[in-house]
Chains A and B, each alone.
Chain A
């Protein structure tokens, strides 16, 4: 049992940190510009594909630095020549713009790299078991992913709380008009934040690509869960996004490990398990099977009971 708990925790934290890399950028963009960026997960996919391509041409370690920068530049360009142009028509066109962009990126990826998953391998240097516990090994690459995401989290925290640019961003989160009045170039801040957020998503893609699967549907798989993280954590709240990411990562991983169903619960308190009738199947469904739905249930509940999210301060 202990080994299951330890490995589920490791896997859950890893998945959570990966979500956080994506969610941190998304939540900043969301709260600053008031726009849910539907294409955010597509930048994650772009990161994975850029990473794959660069590691084919040169090396994984080059890709680790270059690919996120490339994705960041694409993101900044999208903001500068796409979103900013659409911005004057209001939020709904912006939303539709990012929605369409997600499809365009997916189609382009399919055109360039094909519909099949690409063979994006773990670099040789990290292709060994990091440690062994209870006879189970844990791959070094996963430890590397974990370290990178923790490092990024710390850097992000320092930049946002200790630097001048962080102050401006934080101010722009809550009082965008006031910041503009003070003479700061808010559109430029927007562009930088958008580019930086996309770059973070790209970085997540570069490191997740070899461990998971690099394929055109990878944005689709992660997209919806990101919105859950952002809304659950609270708009614009980095610490909220952090907590929500870890929670969802752990819940999803631990749910898989739990085999109990409602029926088992009933039997354990001495009630009979319903075996007949239209809904009899419902009692047999285990937590493991409903695991994927749990985050969305959390989303619905938090919207009902605490619309600002865990750590959020404003609704919009």
Chain B
């Protein structure tokens, strides 16, 4: 089935490729954004669009890339790997050679596979996949690709940082793991089990749950189970509706535990946290937060919130990604992926917090300081709250870049 499907697609790709040759060169550099824009995860995708549009407006205002303007094309992949491939093909047919996708490692895996094949079959028309959020470690390890770059810290890096912090918290005794049942959730679960065992062998893992991705509308049964297990801490990689609804059900049941999360900052999360009164108990691990006090960061956050009804700048990584892309294009004096990709590899970059970061050439994984922050009522040194709750993210710990440097098994094949 899948083989026939791919053959069909290739035939389609070839057919359209020929017709595209006849078109005149496009005046704009098209960036294709592919993510869920319908269904349960749509709020996440929609907010991602705003980030990219904001970045593209900035880049264009600063003169664009090599005299050309950037233009954003958006496609809904409905969180499905099949739809992702179809959307990517559509985007390429529309003239895009830079594809970006974040949510769902299933979709991201399909994308890497598609881009590899596309580039093999269409020399001279290579496309590049810039990954801003899919954090399955495999993508920069055994599945690494010359045409894939990742700006978010992958799941093992985050877990490494998180467990280093947990090591300093003797109050944590019983941990409950709850994750989405697909490659990413399984990666979180595996890393949590291994790293906790190594760093805190005294911690008891009282639950290790996998649930279907983006299908559950009521987490009450899971919350009852967490409560019954006697856990004092929940670790979860859940994102989108799965974290918002988990926290909502937790609020309804009045469950008082620590939540160590990857993505509690997403739509609906902070509202539920405040409702439960989980002060200083819900943590997230990210590459940045709104309340990091640098002049540039505050100005950035303020401007974005003014334009988007006080919704925060969730993804500092989108800024890193798009800034570095523009830089690579301008330095290479070319908007052709085949040329500018070389500039991205190993690129050093100073982020909005004034910190050094870099894109590791070996596996195309981006490295940066990682922050652990807790949601708490606003205090003096905090400037921004989340979802108008009066609660915001407060820095708890910083894990310096050097400590996030996990090795890679990637043996990257550079195309000839």
B217 closest partner in A (C-beta):
A212
Known A136-B253, A136-B254: A117·B40 in contact at CB below 8 Å: yes
CB atoms of A132 and B254 under 8 A apart: yes
Q: Of A132, A134, A216, A256, which one neighbours B222 at CB under 8 angstroms?
A: A256
Q: A221 to B254, Cβ gap below 8 A?
A: no
Contact with B along A124-140 (1 / 0, CB 8 A): 00000100101111110
Query: CB distance B253 to A117 under 8 Å?
Result: no
Q: CA separation between A259 and B221, bound complex, in Å?
A: 13
In the assembled complex, B59 has its CB within 8 A of some CB on chain A: no
Q: Does A59 contact B (CB under 8 A)?
A: no
Residue ID in chain A nearest B39 by CB atoms: A217
> Do A136 and B224 touch (CB < 8 A)?
yes
Contact between chains at A15 and B228 (CB < 8 Å): no
With A136-B254, A137-B252, A215-B40 known to touch, is A257 a contact of B241 (CB < 8 Å)?
no
Asked if A11 contacts B224 (CB within 8 A), the reply is: yes
B217 in contact with A221 (CB, 8 Å): yes
User: Which positions 217-240 of chain A face chain B at CB distance < 8 Å?
Assistant: 217-218, 221
Question: Do the beta carbons of A117 and B43 come within 8 Å of each other?
Answer: yes
Q: Which residues of B contact A116 (CB under 8 A)?
A: 42-43, 46
Q: How far is the CB of A93 from chain B (nearest CB, A)?
A: 30
Q: Which of B30-61 contact A (CB under 8 A)?
A: 37-40, 42-43, 46
Flag if A8 contacts B38 (CB, 8 Å): no
Q: Which residues of A contact B222 (CB under 8 A)?
A: 256
Residue with the greatest number of chain A CB neighbours at <10 A, chosen from B38, B207, B215, B220: B220
Contact residues of A between 2 and 22, Cβ < 8 Å to B: 3-4, 7-8, 11-12, 15
Task: Check A115 against B252 for contact (C-beta < 8 Å).
Answer: no
Q: Does A166 contact B (CB under 8 A)?
A: no
**A147 interface residue per 8 A CB criterion:** no
A116-B46, A117-B43, A139-B252 given; A257·B225 CB < 8 A: yes
Instruction: Classify chain A: how many residues form its interface, as a range.
Output: 35 or more
A260-299 contact mask (Cβ, 8 Å, vs B): 1 or 0: 0000000000000000000000000000110010000000
Given contacts A4-B224, A211-B218, A288 and B241 within 8 Å (CB-CB): no
- Cα(A12)–Cα(B209), bound, Å: 19
CB distance from A149 to the nearest CB of B (A): 15
State how many angstroms separate the Cβ of B17 from the closest Cβ of chain A.
31
Given known A3-B227, A4-B225, A115-B37, contact A213–B254 (CB-CB < 8 A): no
Give the distance in Å from the alpha carbon of A216 to the alpha carbon of B220 in the complex.
22
Is A1 interfacial (CB-CB < 8 Å)?
A: yes
**Which residue of A11, A110, A259 contacts B220 across the interface (Cβ within 8 Å)?**
A11
Minimum distance in angstroms from B105 CB to a CB of chain A: 19
Residues of chain B within 8 A of A42, CB atoms compared: none
Contact B225 A256 (CB under 8 A): yes
Q: How far is the CA of A300 from the CA of B247 in the complex (A)?
A: 36
Residues of A within 8 Å of B181, CB to CB, are 289
Contact between B245 and A288 (Cβ–Cβ < 8 Å)?
Answer: no
Is A245 an interface position by the 8 A CB rule? Answer: no
Considering only residues 174-227 of chain B, those with a C-beta below 8 Å from chain A are 181, 207, 209-212, 215, 217-218, 220-225, 227
B-facing mask of A198-216, CB < 8 A → 1, else 0?
0000000000000111011
- Least Cβ–Cβ distance between B40 and chain A, in angstroms: 6
25 A-B residue pairs with CB within 8 Å: A1-B228, A3-B228, A4-B225, A4-B228, A7-B253, A12-B221, A15-B218, A115-B38, A117-B40, A129-B252, A129-B254, A134-B227, A138-B253, A213-B241, A215-B39, A215-B40, A217-B40, A221-B215, A253-B221, A256-B221, A256-B222, A257-B224, A257-B225, A288-B210, A288-B211
With A7-B224, A117-B42 given, can you name 6 additional A-B contacts, CB distance below 8 Å?
A: A115-B38, A115-B42, A136-B254, A142-B220, A256-B225, A288-B210
Which residues on A are within 8 Å of B, measured CB to CB? 1, 3-4, 7-8, 11-12, 15, 110, 115-117, 129, 132, 134-139, 142, 211-213, 215-218, 221, 253, 256-257, 259, 288-289, 292
**The 8 residue pairs across chains A and B that have the minimum distance between CB atoms:** A7-B224, A4-B228, A137-B254, A115-B38, A212-B217, A256-B221, A139-B252, A253-B221
